[in-house]
Amino acid sequence: MTTAPPTHTTPFDAATASDAYRSALAVIGAVEPRVAAAIGQELTDQRESLKLIASENYASPAVLLTMGNWFSDKYAEGTVGHRFYAGCQNVDTVESLAAEHARELFGAPYAYVQPHSGIDANLVAFWAVLAQRVELPALEKAGAKHVNDLTDADWATLRRALGDQRMLGMSLDAGGHLTHGFRPNISGKMFEQSSYGTDPATELLDYDAVRARAREFKPLIMMAGYSAYPRRVNFATMREIADEVGATFVVDMAHFAGLVAGKVLTGDFDPVPHAHVVTSTSHKSLRGPRGGFVLAQPEFADAVDRGCPMVLGGPLPHVMAAKAVAFAEARQPSFAGYAQAVADNAQSLAEGLSSRGARLVTGGTDNHLVLLDVTAFGLTGRQAESALLDAGIVTNRNAIPSDPNGAWYTSGVRLGTPALTTRGFGAAEFDRTAELIVDVLKGATPTATRDGGVSKAKYVLTDGLADRTRAATAELLAAHPLYPGLDLA
């Protein structure tokens, strides 16, 4: 008797799901067969790749199927029970369900599930804070109820005030995100930005330095959250700092929402009880549909509700429905087991890499990701990313603190465990993965440039190494199939 490999995929009936996808692809293929073929090929490719991209995951068939229907056709600007279009009763049902599940899942007083993505969730949050803290006092002062009631002179004053605010966030090379006030994103054009980084010696967040920076800079918004910091953040301490300087504390948990939902991050490390506003994606460690959402303390709820049409286009009812399904899945006890496995697996991956001589930023991890410094292998992040991809291992290059190679070539590779944990990888598989990664990086040599230097992009791999590694990853993946039993043929 063979036992099925352990998996953290939300259980589904494989025969029913296979029928559903076969029928769907037949309908799609009758119109544009190349799209149906690409959808099928995407499943094959995802099944065959060792996905260590820290921001990706595999949503359940239930979540995915919820997105392909006539909810997509509905306009539903406004909020539940207060729409600018007729006939939104079923949208109201799914939006209420998604919000209710989100509130219960995260223990939040208020949830807004309309944002289309993480970036959009942040924009909603930023404008909600501006509305609450800058616009509202200006309206009160002018004795007006609505911006349209302001005199032209008052409106000009308010516009200047809105454009003259400050945001403090984690620096990009410490793992922060572009949307936390950096110039390539609109947040960097809306706000005067300043950053806090990590301690150069320990590479850990230095809360005293954050406090000093906050006191000096006096931001309207203090951001926490990251996409490449491999450690927990003490949100209770960050809130104390925000309170001390009169800042509104916004946490972007886009990356680690699954660890919050699964109660791996609790107490001081759970952002929800400490932040005024929390923003997130739903598709990363949380394993839902591609989208965003906002949680808020009651005093910000009305302002957050105005996200559409303030900064968002009409809501995506099919995606809100899928959020409701995903949040319901995350409320199952099995999801906590998944989240704990994601964190345990990150430990195994980190130990597997360190014990083979690799250097990890901060020396390890206590969340779902590991940041590997590849300089000791004589490589840039770009070379490491490409060499690993040649060998069938999918990662992404990432800057490390004070990166000597800048933001394009970088010196790091970011590795995350959420996706492979969904497939059922455990400690042994992640140790083997670490071994394969180190072998590939040791077997990659940068090529010389014509002027006698060393290339930051080109490299050669030891003969046969890519094929050998591909065979080894194929073996690991075959033992842990993606969507076990799902068959499109």
Ligand X SMILES: *Cc1c(COP(=O)(O)O)cnc(C)c1O
Binding site for ligand X (CB under 6 A): 55, 117-119, 177, 179, 225, 227, 252, 254-255, 281, 292
Compare residues 176 and 262 and give the one whose CB is closer to ligand X. Answer: 176
Is the separation of the CB atoms in 73 and 314 below 8 Å? Answer: no
Of residues 36 and 54, the one with the C-beta less far from ligand X? 54
Strand partners, 415: 370
Structural tokens at position 435: 């071994």
Closest to ligand X by CB, 281 or 365 = 281
Report in angstroms how near the CB of residue 376 gets to ligand X at its nearest: 27
Q: Tell me the closest approach of the beta carbon of residue 179 to ligand X, in angstroms.
A: 5
First to last CA, the chain: 27
* 10 vs 55, beta carbon nearer ligand X: 55
d(CA 322, CA 88): 17
Comparing CB distances to ligand X, the nearer of 225 and 271 is 225
Do residues 412 and 399 lie in contact, with contact meaning Cβ atoms separated by under 8 Å? yes
CA-to-CA distance for 168 and 170, rounded, in angstroms?
Answer: 7
DSSP letter assigned to residue 9: S
Tokens of 60: 């359940």
Q: Is 197 annotated among the ligand-binding residues?
A: no
C-beta of 253: minimal distance to ligand X in Å? Answer: 8
CB of residue 264 to ligand X, shortest distance in Å: 17
Residue 179 or 193 having the CB closest to ligand X: 179
Instruction: Look up residue 24 and give its two tokens.
Output: 């769907």
Q: At CA 14, angle to CA 345 and CA 316, rounded to 5?
A: 80
- Rounded Cα gap, residues 488 and 44, in angstroms: 10
With CB atoms as reference, the residue minimizing the distance to ligand X is 118
The answer to whether the CB of 79 falls within 8 A of the CB of 277 is: no
Q: Is 172 annotated as a binding residue?
A: yes
As a whole number of angstroms, the distance between CA 236 and CA 176 comes to 19
Quote the least distance from Cβ 442 to ligand X, whole Å.
Answer: 30
63/150 with CB nearer ligand X: 63
The Cα 208–Cα 206 span in angstroms is 6
**H or E element in which residue 478 lies:** helix 465-479
Residue 114 structure tokens: 């309309």
**Least CB distance from residue 367 to ligand X, whole Å?**
12
Residue in the structure block whose two tokens are 């970088």? 410
Which CB sits closer to ligand X, 217 or 256?
256
Q: What is the DSSP string of 254-299?
A: TTTHHHHHTTSS-GGG-STTT-SEEEEESSSTT---S-EEEEE-HH
**Known binding positions for (6S)-5,6,7,8-tetrahydrofolate:** 172, 176-178
Please give the annotated binding residues, written as ranges: 172, 176-178
